[in-house]
Amino acid sequence: MLTREYITWLLNTTGNQLTREELLIQVNIAQNMLFAQPTYFNRTKPDPFLTTEDGVFRYQLPNNVKVVTRVYALATNRKFFFPLYGGFSNMFGYKQPSPVNSYASPEVNIVIDTIQSIAPDRDGPVILFPRQYNPRTTDDLYQIEQYEWPVQLTSEDIQLSVPEEHQFGYLYYMILKFLEEQGYGNSIYNKDREEAAQKAWSRDADIGFKSNYIRTLPKDV
């Protein structure tokens, strides 16, 4: 749905006293809050490849990327079986410098550090390979599991990033709660309905994955 249509619906539903410009700001803030954590909806699909260069250990991602949760290689990739970095130990999280058992998983997580993005109008995340492991020159070995910032609502002609089934659910109740707290609009906020909408969002947005292969560093590293 276009933001213009959504704001018109909000005005008709809530009877609030905010201007369209003020509501645009609130909808944008609410979307950013919904995507504060990685979700199914803002994952980049398919997982992009990371282009690396021999002797380069730091890689800056575009500023539309919010979070990197892992970098991995496919065990079926022929490059994976070449002698890398003097062995597989540490780099791929193994105790022995030998290829992963492809029957266990076709994806091999790479141990890296990251500096995550702090705002949609700032630099994107940074991927840092350990200094002792040269990633080499390649554009088809490493893949990134990454999540994007919602498209920032700088005008009413932009599509909402929140799926339509949740625009009238959790996104609506987040905005409605703000309006009630600020004393705007009609008294139609309902905590029980908000909780139900939140559960529906959590169920659909859950990625069910926690990375053990990434350490997040301070922004100023």
CA 71 from centre of chain: 14
pLDDT surpassing 50 at residue 87: no
- Which token pair is 178? 């703000």
Domain match, 172 and 83 both: no
Q: What is the pLDDT of residues 99-143, one digit of tens each?
A: 333 445 678 888 889 999 999 888 999 999 998 888 999 999 999
How many whole angstroms separate alpha carbon 74 and alpha carbon 141?
A: 7
What residues make up the domain containing 197?
3-39+153-205
Domain match, 98 and 187 both: no
Domain match, 13 and 62 both: no
pLDDT surpassing 90 at residue 180: no
pTM: 0.77
- Helices and strands (H and E) in the chain: how many: 5, 8
Domain match, 166 and 145 both: no
Q: How does DSSP assign 90-145, residue by residue?
A: TTTSBSSSS---TTT-SEEEEPEEEE---STTS---EEE--TTS---SEEEEEEEE
Determine phi and psi for 141, rounding to 5 degrees: -110, -50
pLDDT surpassing 90 at residue 187: no
Domain match, 66 and 144 both: yes
Specify the pLDDT at position 88.
Answer: 41
Domain match, 66 and 34 both: no
Task: Say if CB 92 and CB 111 are below 8 A apart.
Answer: yes
